[in-house]
Amino acid sequence: MSRSLLVTRRTMLKTGLAGAPALILGFYLPRNLFSASPTKSPTAKTSAVFSPNAWLRIDSRGGITLLVEPAEIGQGVRTSMPMLLAEELDADWTKIKIQQAPTKPDIYKHLGTGGSSSVRENYLPLRQAGAAARALLITAAAQTWKVEPSACHTADGAVVHSASKRRLTYGTLAEAASKLPAPDPKKISLKQPKDFRFLGKPVHRLDTPSKVDGSAKFGLDVKVPGMLYAVIARCPTFGGKAVKFDDSKAKAVAGVHAVVQINPVPSPANTAGGVAVVADSTWAAIKGRKALQIDWDRGENASENTASMRKQMAELAGKSPLYVARTVGDAASAISKAPKKIEAVYELPFQPHATMEPMNCTAHVEKDRVEIWAPTQSPDWIQGVVAGLVQLNHESVMVHETLSGGGFGRRYQTDYAVEAVQVSKAVGKPVKLLWTREDDMQHDFYRPASYHRLSAGLDHQNKLVGWSRRIMSTSIRQIFAPPEALKNPATVAAQELEGAVDVPYESPNLQVEYSAVKSGVPRAWWRSVACSFNSFAVESFIDELAAEAHLDPLDFRIKLLGGDRQLPNPRDKEDILDTRRLRGVLALAAEKSGWGKSLPQHWGRGIAAQYSFGSYISHVAEVEVKPDHTVQVHRVVTAVDCGSIINPDTIKAQMESAVIFGLTAAMTGEIEVENGAIKNGNFDDFPVVRMKQAPRRHEVYIVSSTEKPGGIGEPGVPPIAPALTNAIYAATGKRLRRLIIRPEDLKQA
Amino acid sequence: MAPLSLTINGKHYSASVDPGTPILWVLRDTLGLTGTKFGCGMALCGACTIHLDGEAVRSCMTPVSEAVGKKITTIEGLSTDRSHPLQKAWMAQEVPQCGYCQSGQIMTAAALLQKKPHPTDEEIDAAMSGNICRCGTYLRIRAAIHQAAKGGAQ
């Protein structure tokens, strides 16, 4: 529930919204904690004192400024957030400006952008704030005209007296409205969807103009007076360190000011430490780093490699018992007695985020304060970690959140900011730290590598009678949770199970087991997290079961989904999967794709669907397998049911984005570990999908809905990989169970 | 270091830098023209694309000495008011998401249209496949180039 209040001058100043007379509203955004950051304790909302954490200002010229929380990482929040406000405020869209919320703990809390949560969390509070402001403005106008508020309406940034057509703009009314008592939130009513002017309509993004003329400012574009530039040489292996180094040649490079060693910082920062070269230009710093001579102690992970990890996972998959994450009935017995038994193993590699803007951060450490400029999804986490590092209170650490050149979960980490702070502190000057592409590729927090053994039994009617699954992966929680907490296997498994324990296909007997595999490679949240690998395993395996049953993969899915059921997620009872909606997107994507119609030889269609982050997505991929065993995706058809629609063009854009992002992880690029280090370095040995490999056509169909809004940044990713491999199966009869797909696997399969 | 004389977006600049410095870092660090982006440092992603005498080049691997006596055009100089047909088409098609790679995409596309005012899909793919977009805006880029080639009609 949103509450608004009139604020004290002191509080107002802190928001940065103070100035000439204006209506300023503080309101409260409840935070459904993104489970990704274990250092955050669940928020206690027990305080009786109302503490607003979001702000809105309307000035005397009618200008509207909204402090927005979510980071703009490409997903369009700097447009969707003001749309929510403008709808209920009846604002003049051209008068709205947004300002990034500051990291001031007593003003604005829980900054963080992840879990496809921005619209889901702000949908009602921002609308309620808009409605509250509108109510105040109407009251102010009614008092001016000495009429009843009910005799007035609003239109395009003005209050109108309906009978006389007298009109006062919001700017004119702002000061009078600011003197009124805050409206009772219980009495604020919201618009009906039929009356929406913005929501559900394609609105041009507010940030687009600045992104076609080079004026948009990203993290790497920050410049502060007296700033130096730095790059860091990190040990190629994880957990290694510099034993000694010779910096004489580096210091001889023109422009190099200093060479400083920095220590690794443990979890949650998880930095590698290393040797930083600080110079008066980026180029001098890069040249200086090349001239360093460093002896590395390669550390305890120096023998790790991809092949040994795959072997380890295969061995674990055959061991009993593993941690049982979910069990219903007796899956083993049901499968053993079933007339048809199927088993398959799927494997997925580490994936980097490879944002186009590599990690970077500018920091200025002074005696009693720190200022940081970072392209980040998690400014509050940076603030907390840095405050601990430099031993200052949170208020003395200010984080300016810049635009991010891609995020995909990578910018939830604090490592690059912590490094910039260390280097600035060492040289006593503001420092901009750049990660080169190689640094970024080789010191990421990767999507976990995983191995999945699935077995199932079908009865004579091709009904699923048992479903058993073993997941082996490099656990995310092991990177962030304290050793004591990791004694509990449920903690170790906590972030690997989404899309695995909540499978919607009906089976009376079910078992899901998990084991972590040992690895020194850092891993964390990558666009759609565990669903990205669990969906590949489940939606591939369902396709295999359909083939075993000699049934059409679409019909088989619909049959297994059964009647309309509301399935609470076993790990979060409030997260409910509606099988009717999942069936809806499967049917819609199939229909629009021409499912069942003939295709040229060596072409095939594959379908997959996934519920995640509150949204239902189905993709149909139409592919051609060429004589040289390479694959061209000709067309993708997507059906989306994300509940209430905010900006349909943004939904479409996010589906286009998710498909390309997911296809890179399925077709072109994988991270390989060799002698404890990442073998890949740049876009030559980590190829990504380029325009020529992109689907020739991508159609997106959005289901009209008044359900509560779902997420949109991540859920398009999980079903594209299985749609691709299922299409390859349809084209060739060959089943690819290991990503990325390889021409040699198609040749042999 | 003797200052180098550079012509960028029709203006004269002087930069005292090592002549081996890639143009990218001179633009960004020395002259404050940050519209041109760093993406890979190896001419693999296209984020740093500028024009040298009208030709698209990757500024991350082109030494600034090669630009002396030539005309450099960056995204800031493509137009002063987002009036270039590609900029208009980019806005109409809502191409950018994070936006980081788009300066380079637009500069590559502008050089393409100079040579081929009405490119086919295949010609667009060939010209644009050196530019990476991790947000996956390729289909909109292709549509925007066609739109600009048609003089703005969709």
Within 13 Å and on the Cβ side, how many CA atoms surround B149?
Answer: 20
> pLDDT tens for residues A552-563?
999 999 999 999
Report how far residue A493's alpha carbon sits from residue A513's, in angstroms, rounded to the nearest whole number: 9
Of all residues in chain B, the one with the smallest CA distance to A657 is B136
Same-domain status, B74 and B12: yes
Find residue A344's DSSP bridge partners: A454
Report how far residue A85's alpha carbon sits from residue A59's, in angstroms, rounded to the nearest whole number: 16
Report how far residue B1's alpha carbon sits from residue A196's, in angstroms, rounded to the nearest whole number: 63
Which pLDDT score is estimated for A54?
64
- Name residues 75-104 of chain A within 8 A of B (Cβ): 75-76
B151 has a chain A CB within 8 A of its CB: no
CB contact under 8 A, B128 and A220: no
Out of A221, A437, A696, closest to residue B40 by CB: A437
For the cut 50, the answer to whether the pLDDT of residue A47 exceeds it is no
Same-domain status, B71 and B110: no
Report how far residue B143's alpha carbon sits from residue B152's, in angstroms, rounded to the nearest whole number: 11
CB contact under 8 A, B134 and A695: no
Of all residues in chain A, the one with the smallest CA distance to B137 is A657
> pLDDT tens for residues A240-278?
999 999 999 999 999 999 999 999 999 999 999 999 999
Chain A: nearest CA to B89, how far in angstroms? 10
Secondary structure (3-state) at A636: strand
Report how far residue B102's alpha carbon sits from residue A320's, in angstroms, rounded to the nearest whole number: 52
CB contact under 8 A, B76 and A213: yes
| Cα separation values, A144 from A31, A61, A161, A526, A644, Å | 38, 18, 11, 54, 37
B104 has a chain A CB within 8 A of its CB: no
For the cut 90, the answer to whether the pLDDT of residue A9 exceeds it is no
ipTM of predicted assembly, 2 dp: 0.98
Which pLDDT score is estimated for A70?
83
> pLDDT tens for residues A108-149?
655 578 888 888 888 988 898 899 889 999 999 999 999 999
How many C-beta atoms surround the C-beta of residue A251 within 10 A?
Answer: 15
> pLDDT tens for residues A424-482?
999 999 999 999 999 999 999 999 999 999 999 999 999 999 999 999 999 999 999 99
A710-732 burial: b if 16+ Cβ within 10 Å, else e: bbbbbbbbbbbbbbbbbbbbbbb
The DSSP result for A596-614, as a single string, is TS---TTEEEEEEEEEETT
Largest CA distance in chain B: 51
Residue of A734, A739, A749, A746 whose CA lies nearest to A628: A746
A665 has a chain B CB within 8 A of its CB: no
Residues B72 and B51: beta-carbon distance below 8 Å: yes
Residue owning tokens 């200010």: A398
Residues A437 and A681: beta-carbon distance below 8 Å: yes
Report how far residue A408's alpha carbon sits from residue A417's, in angstroms, rounded to the nearest whole number: 17
Of all residues in chain B, the one with the smallest CA distance to A437 is B40
Of the listed ranges A33-42, A321-330, B95-104, the one predicted with least confidence: A33-42
CB contact under 8 A, A437 and B17: no
Report how far residue A712's alpha carbon sits from residue A642's, in angstroms, rounded to the nearest whole number: 7
Fold that domain A9-211 belongs to in CATH: Aldehyde Oxidoreductase; domain 4 (3.30.365)
Which pLDDT score is estimated for A3?
34
Same-domain status, B15 and B70: yes
> pLDDT tens for residues A645-689?
999 999 999 999 999 999 999 999 999 999 999 999 999 999 999
B154 has a chain A CB within 8 A of its CB: no
| Cα separation values, A273 from A192, A237, B100, Å | 55, 12, 28
**DSSP code of B86?**
H
Find residue A577's DSSP bridge partners: A567
Determine the average pLDDT of the residues in A180-198: 87
Same-domain status, B41 and B106: no
- Which helix (H) or strand (E) segment holds residue A440: the answer is helix A437-442
B9 has a chain A CB within 8 A of its CB: no
Tokens of A174: 């702002």
CA angle A480, A667, A495 (to 5 degrees): 20
Out of B44, B76, B121, closest to residue A684 by CB: B44
Same-domain status, B111 and B142: yes
Measured between beta carbons, the chain B residues lying within 8 angstroms of A434 are 38
> pLDDT tens for residues A480-500?
999 999 999 999 999 999 999
The DSSP result for B103-148, as a single string, is HHHHHHHHHHHHH-SS--HHHHHHHHTTS--TT--HHHHHHHHHHH
CA terminus-to-terminus distance, chain A: 56
B73 has a chain A CB within 8 A of its CB: no
Q: Which of B38, B62, B74, B100 to mutate to test the interface with A (most CBs of A within 10 A)?
A: B100
Q: How confident is the model at residue A38 (pLDDT cuts 50, 70, 90)?
A: very low
Tokens of A693: 């490999």
Which pLDDT score is estimated for A606?
98
Measured between beta carbons, the chain B residues lying within 8 angstroms of A406 are 98, 100, 134-135
Where a domain ends, among B58, B78, B98? B78
For the cut 80, the answer to whether the pLDDT of residue B56 exceeds it is yes
Residues A21 and A6: beta-carbon distance below 8 Å: no
Domain housing B71 = 4-78
Residue of A663, A371, A385, A686 whose CA lies nearest to A527: A663
Chain A: nearest CA to B133, how far in angstroms? 7
Q: How confident is the model at residue A531 (pLDDT cuts 50, 70, 90)?
A: very high
Report how far residue A121's alpha carbon sits from residue A31's, in angstroms, rounded to the nearest whole number: 7
A306-351+445-748: in CATH 3.40.50.1000: no
B32 has a chain A CB within 8 A of its CB: yes
B74 has a chain A CB within 8 A of its CB: yes
Report how far residue A511's alpha carbon sits from residue A527's, in angstroms, rounded to the nearest whole number: 26
Of all residues in chain A, the one with the smallest CA distance to B87 is A212
Measured between beta carbons, the chain A residues lying within 8 angstroms of B130 are 690
Chain A: nearest CA to B122, how far in angstroms? 8
Of the listed ranges A9-18, A42-51, A673-682, A722-731, the one predicted with least confidence: A42-51
For the cut 70, the answer to whether the pLDDT of residue A96 exceeds it is yes
Residue of A369, A363, A475 whose CA lies nearest to A416: A363
Give the strand pairing for A274-279 and A228-233.
antiparallel
Secondary structure (3-state) at B84: coil
Which pLDDT score is estimated for B1?
74
Where a domain ends, among B62, B78, B94? B78
Same-domain status, B39 and B11: yes
Residues A345 and A737: beta-carbon distance below 8 Å: yes
Out of A74, A212, A696, closest to residue B135 by CB: A74
CB contact under 8 A, B40 and A213: no
For the cut 50, the answer to whether the pLDDT of residue A226 exceeds it is yes
- Name residues 602-661 of chain A within 8 A of B (Cβ): 649, 653, 656-661
State percent of chain B over pLDDT 90: 96
Residues A719 and A535: beta-carbon distance below 8 Å: yes
Measured between beta carbons, the chain B residues lying within 8 angstroms of A661 are 134-136
Name the phi and psi angles at A722, rounded to 5. -65, -30
A219-300+359-434: in CATH 3.30.365.10: yes
Residue type, B89: A
What residue spans define the domains of chain A? 9-211, 219-300+359-434, 306-351+445-748
Which pLDDT score is estimated for A319?
87
Which pLDDT score is estimated for A40?
30
Residue owning tokens 């740093």: B48
Where a domain ends, among B78, B97, B124? B78
Out of A208, A254, A282, closest to residue B18 by CB: A254
Measured between beta carbons, the chain A residues lying within 8 angstroms of B77 are none
Chain B: nearest CA to A100, how far in angstroms? 16
Out of A229, A356, A698, closest to residue B98 by CB: A356
For the cut 70, the answer to whether the pLDDT of residue A49 exceeds it is no
In a domain, B30, yes or no: yes
Measured between beta carbons, the chain B residues lying within 8 angstroms of A206 are none
CB contact under 8 A, A213 and B35: yes
Report residue A490 CA to chain centroid gap: 23
Question: Which residues are CB-neighbours of A591 under 8 A, at least 6 positions away?
Answer: none
The DSSP result for A305-349, as a single string, is -HHHHHHHHHHHHTSS--EEEEEES-HHHHHHHSSEEEEEEEEE-
Which pLDDT score is estimated for A19?
60
CB contact under 8 A, A207 and B74: no
Measured between beta carbons, the chain B residues lying within 8 angstroms of A375 are none
Residues A445 and A36: beta-carbon distance below 8 Å: no
Question: Which residues are CB-neighbours of A342 under 8 A, at least 6 positions away?
Answer: A455, A456, A457, A458, A541, A544, A545, A548
Which pLDDT score is estimated for B154?
67
The DSSP result for A449-470, as a single string, is PEEEEEEEEE-TT--EEEEEEE
In a domain, B154, yes or no: no
Tokens of B57: 């080049």
Report residue A386 CA to chain centroid gap: 23
**CATH code for the domain in which residue B112 is found:** 1.10.150.120
Of the listed ranges A11-20, A507-516, B63-72, the one predicted with least confidence: A11-20
**CATH code for the domain in which residue B41 is found:** 3.10.20.30
Residue of A539, A573, A538 whose CA lies nearest to A554: A539
**DSSP code of A537?**
H
Q: Which of B128, B134, B140 to mutate to test the interface with A (most CBs of A within 10 A)?
A: B134
Q: Look at chain B and report how many structural domains it folds into.
A: 2
Which pLDDT score is estimated for A37?
27
Same-domain status, B94 and B139: yes
A285 has a chain B CB within 8 A of its CB: no
Which pLDDT score is estimated for A186?
75
Same-domain status, B72 and B32: yes
Q: How confident is the model at residue A45 (pLDDT cuts 50, 70, 90)?
A: very low
In a domain, B21, yes or no: yes
Region at A187 (left for phi over 0; alpha for psi -120 to 50; beta for the rest): alpha
Q: What is the mean pLDDT of chain A?
A: 92
Determine the average pLDDT of the residues in A273-299: 98
Q: How confident is the model at residue A15 (pLDDT cuts 50, 70, 90)?
A: low
How many C-beta atoms surround the C-beta of residue A424 within 10 A?
Answer: 28
Of all residues in chain B, the one with the smallest CA distance to A438 is B40
A195-228 burial: b if 16+ Cβ within 10 Å, else e: ebbbbbeebebbbbbbbbbbebbbbbbbeeeebb
- Reported residue count of chain A is 749
Same-domain status, B10 and B39: yes
Residue owning tokens 């629009």: A592
- Which helix (H) or strand (E) segment holds residue A258: the answer is strand A256-262
| CB burial of residue A323 (10 Å; 0-12, 13-18, 19+) | middle
Of all residues in chain A, the one with the smallest CA distance to B99 is A211
